């Protein structure tokens, strides 16, 4: 291949990506049956000899693009999945062309500088302590795991145990406290760092899924408390001030570590109105986890861990044995579970620089306003189960005798079959519920009204068929 051929190939690829990006809202929110059947072209044996690159990329676009979920568009309301800001998508193209290994500044000066710049900007826009470390990982699951590993080592260190050197067998015990509404992956992260998915004290939650601080258990020793900003069904926030006060009141030897899983909810800190309403005490934690790929709308995969005292991350993740003093550069491989790593900060930088402080606040507020609009439009027909404080709406069909599980399940199936929007189901209070998440920068009031109309039309069809 010569340079001209390379250029032609990459220009063709860029053209296909561009075509996808600008037409995503013309696509159904979920692929139709023909598109799914088209995936069969991928089921070929490994070619004995290579195929032309351009033909390969064309096949990818022809069969792969139609079989994607249009989660990068305005009409996808499933799970909590962000779309992609054009600035982030463009930056990701450039970052892919750079193909930097962000493990060490020596491997990428550009990545190292953008890490330091985004560290400052993220702490600024979220109002977190200025000295905290920022570590980029694959998602909130790993951001939780990285934070919890640092917490584990810090708490065991205070008990005179070096978990990095000696592992967990025979280590002194400490207690782990989680709310009953903790995300399923928080428990997975606890299991991953050896603290156990089930060896936890589960604190009951209120009707919105908020941890009941008045029911925090009476425990003698140090504790690791895992709180949550943004319950995955309701968007509810735990009472951080009450939890931090409870920790502060404990005797010195029984204090602990407060971690907050804010995979999407942490971004409420960027919106002054929601910061005041939901986030009191959130900045008193020792560590926080969030996602860039959800509400900041950068591409997958981008998770972000914040740890108040950077020395804890360095102690846990340094690749040399034992504690190494902080140098004046940030070595990503010595502060994250990874060694080699993509420069995720490039897209975060592009998103934050393009949006600015006001733009991030507006992104959050617009999503929340769209969620409120959807809830208001649906309320006469469907039961809105949550206080819509954020970007999540939780809905159910109720009959004369209470929850109509069959009708709710039928409504979810009808919406997914309709295909103009996509949202998923969940279990709430022991019954099926429909979950609507507004996490795309593209979803404005018209899109919210459209989504509500589709849901109402589907509900009417379900009622007519019953």
Ligand X SMILES: *Cc1c(COP(=O)(O)O)cnc(C)c1O
Task: List C-alpha distances in Å: 161 to 51, 173, 382.
Answer: 56, 10, 54
Interacting residues with ligand X (CB under 6 A): 80, 139-141, 183, 185-186, 230, 232, 261, 263-264, 291, 303
Smallest gap, in angstroms, from Cβ of residue 29 to ligand X? 19
Closest CA to 307 of 138, 179, 143, 140: 143
Q: Which residues contact 317 (CB under 8 A, 6 or more apart)?
A: 135, 146, 149, 150, 333, 334, 335, 336, 337
Contacts of 139 (CB under 8 A, 6+ apart): 263, 291, 293, 300, 301, 302, 303
**Closer residue to ligand X (CB): 140 or 407:** 140
Q: Which is nearer to ligand X, 227 or 459 (CB)?
A: 227
Nearest to ligand X of 77, 161 (CB atom) = 77
**Closest approach of ligand X to the CB of residue 446, in Å:** 26
| β pairing state of 383-384 and 392-396 | antiparallel
CB nearer to ligand X: pick between 286 and 404: 286
Phi, psi of 135 (to 5 degrees): -125, 125
Nearer to ligand X, 153 or 261 (CB): 261
Token pair listed for 201: 């004290």
In the bound complex, what is the minimum distance in angstroms from residue 395's beta carbon to ligand X? 18
CB of 257 to ligand X, least distance (A): 18
Token pair, residue 28, equals: 């159904």
Over the Cα atoms of the chain, what is R_g? 23
| Pick 80 or 111: Cβ nearer ligand X | 80
DSSP string, 134-174: EEEESSHHHHHHHHHHHHHHHHHHHTT--HHHH-STTPPP-
Please say which residue, 80 or 454, places its beta carbon nearer to ligand X.
Answer: 80
**Which residue has the closest beta carbon to ligand X?**
139
Q: Report how far residue 432's alpha carbon sits from residue 251's, in angstroms, rounded to the nearest whole number.
A: 43
Residue (222 or 292) nearer to ligand X, CB: 292
Closest approach, Cβ 136 to ligand X, in A, equals 12
Q: Say if CB 233 and CB 394 are below 8 A apart.
A: yes
In the bound complex, what is the minimum distance in angstroms from residue 85's beta carbon to ligand X?
17
Nearest distance in Å: CB 290, ligand X: 9
**Token reading at 344:** 């995720």
Least distance from ligand X to the Cβ atom of residue 252, Å? 31
What is the residue whose two structure tokens read 């960027």?
Answer: 270
């Amino acid at each position: 291949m010569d340079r001209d051929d390379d250029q032609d190939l990459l220009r063709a690829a860029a053209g296909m990506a561009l075509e996808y990006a600008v037409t995503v809202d013309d696509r159904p929110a979920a692929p139709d049956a023909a598109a799914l059947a088209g995936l069969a072209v991928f089921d070929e044996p490994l070619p004995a000899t290579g195929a032309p690159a351009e033909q390969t990329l064309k096949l990818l676009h022809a069969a792969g693009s139609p079989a994607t979920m249009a989660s990068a568009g305005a009409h996808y309301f499933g799970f909590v999945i962000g779309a992609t800001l054009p600035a982030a998508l463009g930056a990701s193209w450039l970052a892919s062309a750079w193909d930097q290994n962000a493990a060490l500044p020596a491997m990428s000066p550009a990545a190292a500088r953008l890490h330091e710049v985004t560290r400052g900007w993220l702490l600024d826009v979220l109002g977190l302590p200025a000295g905290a470390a920022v570590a980029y990982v694959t998602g909130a699951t790993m951001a939780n795991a990285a934070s919890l590993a640092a917490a584990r080592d810090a708490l065991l260190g205070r008990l005179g145990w070096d978990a990095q050197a000696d592992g967990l067998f025979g280590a002194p015990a400490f207690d782990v406290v989680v709310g009953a509404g903790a995300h399923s992956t928080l428990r997975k992260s606890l299991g991953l760092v050896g603290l156990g998915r089930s060896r936890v004290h589960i604190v009951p939650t209120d009707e919105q899924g908020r941890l009941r601080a008045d029911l925090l258990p009476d425990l003698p020793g140090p504790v690791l408390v895992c709180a949550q900003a943004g319950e995955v069904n309701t968007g509810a926030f735990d009472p951080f001030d009450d939890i931090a006060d409870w920790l502060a009141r404990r005797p010195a030897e029984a204090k602990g570590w407060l971690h907050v899983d804010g995979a999407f909810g942490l971004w409420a800190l960027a919106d002054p109105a929601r910061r005041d309403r939901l986030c009191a005490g959130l900045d008193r934690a020792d560590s926080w986890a969030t996602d860039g790929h959800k509400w900041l709308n950068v591409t997958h995969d981008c998770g972000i861990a914040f740890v108040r005292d950077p020395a804890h991350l360095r102690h846990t993740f340094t690749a040399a044995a034992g504690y190494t003093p902080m140098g004046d550069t940030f070595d990503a491989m010595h502060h994250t579970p990874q060694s080699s790593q993509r420069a995720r900060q490039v897209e975060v930088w592009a998103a934050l620089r393009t949006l600015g402080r006001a733009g991030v606040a507006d992104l959050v507020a617009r999503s929340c306003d769209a969620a409120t609009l959807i809830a208001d439009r649906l309320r006469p027909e469907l039961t809105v189960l949550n206080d819509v404080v954020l970007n999540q709406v939780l809905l159910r069909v109720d009959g004369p005798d209470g929850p109509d599980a069959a009708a709710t399940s039928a409504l979810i199936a009808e919406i997914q079959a309709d295909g103009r929007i996509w949202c998923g189901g969940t279990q709430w209070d022991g019954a099926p519920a429909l979950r609507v998440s507004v996490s795309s920068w593209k979803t404005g009031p018209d899109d919210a009204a459209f989504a509500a109309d589709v849901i109402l039309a589907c509900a009417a069809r379900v009622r007519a068929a019953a």
